[in-house]
Structure 1
Amino acid sequence: MNKIPKNSLLLVNSVPLREIDGQLGLDDQTCAGLVRWAENFERVVIAGPSLPEHIAVTKESSTARTVWQPLTDLPCADQLEFVPLPYAYKLRDFTKVYAKTRRLLQEKIHQNQYLCFVIARPIGDWGGIAALEAIKLGRPYTAWLDRVEYEVISRTLQSLPLVSRTKEFLQLPLMKRYQQYLIRQSSLGLFQGQDCYQAYSPFCKQPHCIYDVHTKKSDQIDESSIDLKIESLKSNEPLLICYVGRAADMKGPFDWLHIIHRICQAGVNVKATWVGDGPLLLKMKSLTQELGIADHVNLVGFVDDQTKILQTMRENHIFLFCHKTPESPRCLIESIVSGCPIVGYDSSYCQDLVSRYGGGAFVPMNDWQKLADLVIELNLNRARLSRLIQSAALSGQFFDEKTVYQQRSDLIQKYSGFTF
């Protein structure tokens, strides 16, 4: 044990590593997070599945595109070690590589002082296997959960092909028990957003609610931009609505378009923008034509410039969302940071984001008609909408990348380390 480097972190997650021009790379947001981890740990070892190129190409043609960044380009590259793990989400593939991969994870556990594992599925996600190994070795570890995975799957089962739907349905009870066991054995639980926290904290010795934040203090909207936005409402300019995210079932894109249609029918002069691509984008385009709202809706598609995305939010009056699963989407945080009120389907997560100063308005899940009526009401009562804009900006001041990574690093160092 004397060989363990002090203040070293092993992070095992399900974020895929990909080879880019002969070098390992990660998505740009994960890379930004690694820079923050390296500010708080002297050494960071990140282990994740190595994405086969043929799967990467298939994924990018059917889902939202990813901005990949070579790891050698990071300013903290000399503090980082990357451990590619097998990409094995099929039971047959998983069983073939299980023993060898578990031995590798054991080796990495022995070599690091602090342990943090992202827990998701029993098959293919190696964070849970690392946790099993840590339990066997008697090492404390952090269990990190991004979303209530079994709820997300159960609510999206109907959109899957029959074979996939049957397989997922059979795995759900196992997944729930598996996650709860690993959480009970952990020394610290980091649960992203209130939905995750409420689902998992009862099983954890030391639960904490965290947030996925990649905005900086400098990204927060300034007073002059708030004033301009409110002035546009007072001047009776068109109502500006936006959303940023994947065109996928769990984001409710068709609900979103039906809401725009309903408020157009009510006579609201609206301009609505959806930023992001995904498997349902072509169907969204068809539906805008069928509903006769193509002149009011701009389906921008993929945008890889975070500055442009935040600027879109700063310029819009409402961030309209129709999320159908208990997840903790970063876009809602970015919206309030940008002074754009979050208006959508109710959840513990969105309620918590605006619990201090406000900046949101919500309706029951899946009631898109009621959500449309709420938007119509806000358009008629622009004084109320102006107050929501100001409140959103106040609530957004609590979310910046440097602060949240410092907080979670402090928790890991307090509860999940080997004591020398």
Structure 2
Amino acid sequence: MSLVQYDEQRHMGAAMEATARGQTLLLVTMVRLRRGPRGLQLDDQTCAGLVRWTEHFERVVYCGLLQESDDCDDASVTWVDIDSLPNRDRMRIVPLPFAYKIGAFARAYRATRRQLAEEIGKADKLCFTLGYVFGDWGGVAALEAIKQGRRFATWFDRVEHDVLRNTLHALRFRRRVKERMTLPVMIAYHRHLVRKSSLGLFQGMDTFKAYEKYSSNPACVYDVHTQPEDFINAEQIEQKLAGIEAAAPLRIVYVGRAVAMKGPEDWLRVIHGVVQAGVDVRATWLGDGPLLDQMQLTVKQLGLGNHVELAGYVGDRDKVLDALRESHLFLFCHKTPESPRCLIEALVSGCPIVGYGTHYPVGLVEGAGGGMFSAMDDFAGLAKLITELDRDRGRLVKLVRDAASCGRRFDEATVYRQRAELIASYA
């Protein structure tokens, strides 16, 4: 079931909302909490989602992982004081141990399970994010809910076992051995919990396809934080189309970290193929990451200095959205089945998505248009596709219009309402 299908089916939405407003929602997640100078903090996008949940439930109990030091901080995270949020009086934050190492998980297990059992017993609706085995308190909460005979929703952001499998080669030897041994356990464990859940919330079609057959009630959902004011407006669309029709240099963009799963080397090889075909292209990668230095080296080796800008991390979201609105294509070469928000932000900005055609991106534009795709790992095919679009500017104009139209389906208020209704009905 997709959210669109669910929205078309629902006849009792108002009743569900009225019921949920008097209830407590328990969320157990893998999201990191940290202690700031004025109390607990969460990243800005999680905070936005937390506020949305309070619009649909009377009380929200939020469990996250408390990091004890700043050593694992991501420089791209914008931390927000939880106490500064609207509806803070209807939120309760429960820090759980950060225990991904086997020993730490074993030491914390009994006390944390007792704590989760108490929270489950007090809550009306339950939703648990799953992602690993050791240190994955969402999975432990699901085991406890099963023991108590409670209904609960499972939530997956991505196909975790595929992400792990595809990154094994980059791990140190001892860690690689450990994760190879963990992998079959993780797959069986997650499938068991999905089977026992009363609702499966799977972000994007890649994740949905991976888990739907194990769920009695699967739903394809999206976790987005775009607002209607983020949508590209008519004037901006016409300005972009005027440049396309005037044969302006083709503007290509990507927003994300330079890590192996994002396919940065493939991305550069696509640009190289487009340049070799004679296209006047300006391509920008917005984002930092461990492979950024290697990307710089590849740019020099391929002679792309006049065509590629590696801009690094850009913390100003308005600047990121402006770059998307000004670009003609959003090129991505993702290597693993995940559901990155950057593709939705591109559509919202009227920037067509062009890349490897897995279920997630294809599902985003299904029935609306705004994307074109090649087979996985076929960077030569992507280069050919982009070259053809540059030579057929009328086709590119239509693609931009379709992307802008498609993007209007994705706003934060709508997707959180839809998910809240699913949880109120089935979890």
Contact 2:252 / 2:283 at 8 angstroms: preserved in 1?
yes
- The residue aligned with 1:174 is 185
Deviation larger for 255-264 or 192-201? 255-264
- The residue aligned with 2:238 is 227
Aligned positions of 1:4-403 closer than 5 A: 6-57=22-73, 60=74, 65-403=76-414
- The residue aligned with 2:9 is none
Contact 2:38 / 2:81 at 8 angstroms: preserved in 1?
no
Contact 1:276 / 1:302 at 8 angstroms: preserved in 2?
yes
SS at match of 2:132: coil
- The residue aligned with 2:17 is none
Contact 2:264 / 2:333 at 8 angstroms: preserved in 1?
yes
The one-letter amino acid of 1:272's match is A
Q: How many equivalent residue pairs? A: 407
TM-score, normalising length: structure 2: 0.93
CA drift of 1:305 comes to 2.0
- The residue aligned with 2:10 is none
SS at match of 2:31: coil
The one-letter amino acid of 2:45's match is Q
Given the superposition, is the C-alpha separation of residues 303 and 21 from structure 1 closer, same or farther in structure 2, using an over 3 Å criterion? same
CA drift of 1:39 comes to 0.7
TM-score, normalising length: structure 1: 0.95
What is the rounded CA distance, in whole Å, between the counterparts of 1:6 and 1:136 in structure 2? 25
The one-letter amino acid of 1:124's match is G
CA drift of 1:303 comes to 1.6
What is the rounded CA distance, in whole Å, between the counterparts of 2:397 and 2:175 in structure 1? 46
Contact 2:253 / 2:327 at 8 angstroms: preserved in 1?
yes
Deviation larger for 353-362 or 150-159? 150-159
SS at match of 1:394: helix
Contact 1:142 / 1:187 at 8 angstroms: preserved in 2?
yes
What is the rounded CA distance, in whole Å, between the counterparts of 2:84 and 2:264 in structure 1? 36
CA drift of 1:37 comes to 0.6
Deviations 1:56-107 (A, max 9, x none): 24xx3xxx62111110111121111111111111101100110010001111
CA drift of 1:22 comes to 4.4
CA drift of 1:6 comes to 4.0
CA drift of 1:298 comes to 1.4
What percent identity do the matched residue pairs reach?
51
What is the rounded CA distance, in whole Å, between the counterparts of 1:314 and 1:164 in structure 2? 42
In structure 1, the gaps of 5 or more residues are none
Contact 2:155 / 2:201 at 8 angstroms: preserved in 1?
yes
Contact 2:267 / 2:333 at 8 angstroms: preserved in 1?
yes
CA drift of 1:251 comes to 0.2
What is the rounded CA distance, in whole Å, between the counterparts of 1:70 and 1:33 in structure 2? 14
CA drift of 1:138 comes to 0.8
Deviations 1:27-60 (A, max 9, x none): 1110111111111111111101101214324xx3
Contact 2:34 / 2:41 at 8 angstroms: preserved in 1?
yes
Q: Return structure 1 stretches of 4+ with deviation > 4 angstroms.
A: none
The one-letter amino acid of 1:249's match is A
SS at match of 2:86: coil
What is the rounded CA distance, in whole Å, between the counterparts of 1:141 and 1:115 in structure 2? 5
Determine which of 385, 401, 418 is the counterpart of 1:407.
Answer: 418
SS at match of 1:120: coil
CA drift of 1:112 comes to 1.2
Deviations 1:243-265 (A, max 9, x none): 00111000001111111122122
What is the rounded CA distance, in whole Å, between the counterparts of 2:140 and 2:82 in structure 1? 25
SS at match of 2:71: helix
CA drift of 1:15 comes to 0.4
Deviation larger for 282-291 or 179-188? 282-291
What is the rounded CA distance, in whole Å, between the counterparts of 1:357 and 1:10 in structure 2? 35
Contact 2:204 / 2:222 at 8 angstroms: preserved in 1?
yes
What is the rounded CA distance, in whole Å, between the counterparts of 1:302 and 1:45 in structure 2? 33
Contact 1:241 / 1:320 at 8 angstroms: preserved in 2?
yes
Contact 2:128 / 2:153 at 8 angstroms: preserved in 1?
yes
CA drift of 1:156 comes to 2.0
Deviations 1:256-313 (A, max 9, x none): 1111122122221111111111111122122212222122111111122222211111
SS at match of 1:343: strand
Contact 1:6 / 1:113 at 8 angstroms: preserved in 2?
no
What is the rounded CA distance, in whole Å, between the counterparts of 2:88 and 2:72 in structure 1? 24
Deviation larger for 300-309 or 228-237? 300-309
The one-letter amino acid of 1:314's match is R
The one-letter amino acid of 2:330's match is F
Deviations 1:365-418 (A, max 9, x none): 1111111111111111111111110111111111110000000001111111xx
